Homo-oligomer: A and B are copies of this chain.
Amino acid sequence: MGFFIDPCLIRPLFALCILSIVFATSSSAAGAKTRHFKWEVEYMHWSPDGLESVVMGINGQFPGPTIRARAGDTVHVELTNKLHTEGVVIHWHGIRQIGTPWADGTASISQCAINPGETFVYRFKVDRAGTYFYHGHYGMQRSAGLYGSLIVDVAEGEKEPFHYDGEFNILLSDWWHKSSHEQEVDLSSNPMRWIVPQQQRECRLRGNEQYAPHILRVQPNKTYRLRIASSTALASLNLGIGKHKLVVVEADGNYLQPVSVDNIDIYSGESYSVLFTTNQDPSNNYWLSINVRGREPKTPPALTILNYSPTSASRLPNSPPPVSPRWDDYGSSKAFSNKILALTGTPKPPTTSDRRIVLLNTQNFIDGHTKWAINNVSLVLPPTPYLGSIRFGLSNAFDQKRPPDNFKHDYDVMRPAPNQNTTSGNGVYVLRFNTTIDVILQNANALRANVSEIHPWHLHGHDFWILGYGEGKFTESDVQKFNLKNPPYRNTAVIFPYGWTALRFVADNPGVWAFHCHIEPHLHMGMGVVFAEGVRRVKRIPNEALACGLTGKLLMNNVHK
């Protein structure tokens, strides 16, 4: 299984990057604002990595425009679909959509896809400062390039719990040379065809290319906040800056106990803020380097330069790029994960849970097609979005059989399954409103012996507490080791090969929420589940979100004369 990260693909988004801001010294009386955006999604020619491709852009930009707002603001995006034959939706990754579950931007789950030529209004509150992003959530449109940054600053008059003099914002992505449509066909084929990297090219840059890396220009002896989010289709990454320590202070919109590291792992779906201080020799420049984790890298690192003013940006660093851990050094990954702890003041988990759902992650076959399954069900989303079909009690819209809360107790997670066949389904985990749910993500051997992969799982509509990571099969005694004191509060958590990860969350957000591996091909192959909670409490869902499938039928019935 190949993969690649293009060396030109670190794409810091500078459109709204602001250097040397001093926040929060003056507090104005101004309250929350509504931030209006008018976007058109369309395909366009672009060279994400030097080879011209067709990408899905927004308003002629790739990646899409950065949204910048303050905590408490309302974001109002009028999204017009200018594609010719494809529907589209946009998911606001990390925004919990409290009270607006229809704005979560998940086709088949929260809304009907927006038809070509039509406009849908995403209107939602960004209730909490943090580093977020947005992306397509229909078919594999994220892989087609539909993504951008969403940055929420603290409310006016509020302060971040750390100081910095300026900031940069990097949205990480990987780019593959087959169209997302072709990737879908490849992945669905029998035998499956995995995404393959293109030949390496040399990046000879003049600096004005669409794929030229953005230089990070800094002043000496300042502290910078580097926001990093990963929208990669596939790649797990590690970022470092030569000779500079990184102090991790935020993850997925929640503050952390500051922790100093030499480099940082970022999985698809995660976001971080790290601080670094420009305390090195200002007559040199320094490499910012990004390497691949968890799969054998077939590509050189992605590079850009930290450029100390007034040194020329064209001066190459005299120290080598920082070294990432080896791709398969999971020890360092785990050590890093275990260092991520919530800052005091972060909401604490309830001390007990009402229900435990254990989700076994397996790779399987259906009629010879390679799939991923959770507790032996490979997710195939229904044409009618759940939010509407559950709200209106349409029992024929999806499998009414509830998927299992556990897997067979004698399943050996360390070996290939004796029977590797599975079945597809689209049943829903219905969570009792306001109850506390534990989810144990249980990794296992994939199809081939001695292979177990990393999966970053992302939950919509909530943050969860990561109570712990473990090796092998989760057992009842592991509960004793749960961190209930300062577990990080996040929306994405990884499971390591042959390991488990324990999560806790409160089902207090009426809606229907995807929970899935954020690796786009894995989701395409069925690696996800659907949670529903308090759907009867959901207020008026806009008709536009319901105008398809069985809800569309229902609402149109008996009206047509």
Contact = CB atoms under 8 A, between A and B. Distances in A.
A117 B549 contact: yes
A547 B556 contact: yes
Contact of A116 (B45, B118, B189, B383): B383
A283 to B, nearest CB: 46
Interface string A377-394: 000011100000000000
A116 B548 CA distance: 10
Interface string A52-77: 00100000000000000000000000
A138 B118 CA distance: 15
A184 B546 CA distance: 29
Contact of A181 (B139, B181, B184): B181
Contacts of A86: 85-87
B43 A185 contact: yes
A555 B560 contact: yes
A50 B540 CA distance: 54
Contacts of A544: 553
A101 B371 CA distance: 42
**Best-buried of A107, A182, A552 by chain B (most CB within 10 Å):** A552
Nearest to A541: B560
A546 B552 CA distance: 10
Given A141-B85, A556-B556, A549 B184 contact: no
Interface residues of A, number: 46
A383 B84 CA distance: 10
Contacts of A558: 559
A115 interface: yes
Contacts of A84: 138-140, 181, 184
**Best-buried of A84, A113, A541 by chain B (most CB within 10 Å):** A84
Contact of A383 (B115, B189, B383): B115
A181 B115 contact: no
A557 B556 CA distance: 8
A179 interface: yes
Contacts of A559: 555-559
A44 B185 contact: yes
A543 interface: yes
A54 B181 contact: yes
A117 B181 contact: no
Contacts of A189: 45
Interface in A112-148: 112-113, 115-118, 138-141
B549 A552 contact: no
A430 to B, nearest CB: 22
Contacts of A117: 108, 381-383, 549
A43 B85 contact: no
Contacts of A557: 543, 559
B555 A546 contact: no
A386 to B, nearest CB: 13
Nearest to A44: B185
Contacts of A88: 85
Contacts of A43: 181, 184-185
Contacts of A115: 87, 112-113, 115, 383, 548-549
A66 B439 CA distance: 51
A560 B546 contact: yes
Contacts of A182: 54, 179
Given A54-B181, A182-B179, A556 B560 contact: no
A88 B184 CA distance: 17
B548 A543 contact: no
Contacts of A552: 547, 552, 556
Contacts of A555: 555-556, 559-560
6 contacts: A54-B182, A118-B549, A179-B181, A541-B560, A544-B553, A552-B556
Sorted from nearest, which 3 A-B pairs have the closest CB atoms?
A: A117-B383, A84-B139, A85-B139
Interface of A: 43-45, 54, 84-88, 107-108, 112-113, 115-118, 138-141, 179, 181-182, 184-185, 189, 381-383, 540-541, 543-544, 546-549, 552-553, 555-560
Given A43-B185, A547-B547, A555-B555, 18 more contacts: A43-B181, A43-B184, A45-B189, A54-B185, A84-B181, A112-B115, A115-B115, A115-B549, A179-B181, A179-B182, A181-B181, A543-B556, A546-B560, A547-B552, A547-B556, A555-B556, A557-B559, A558-B559
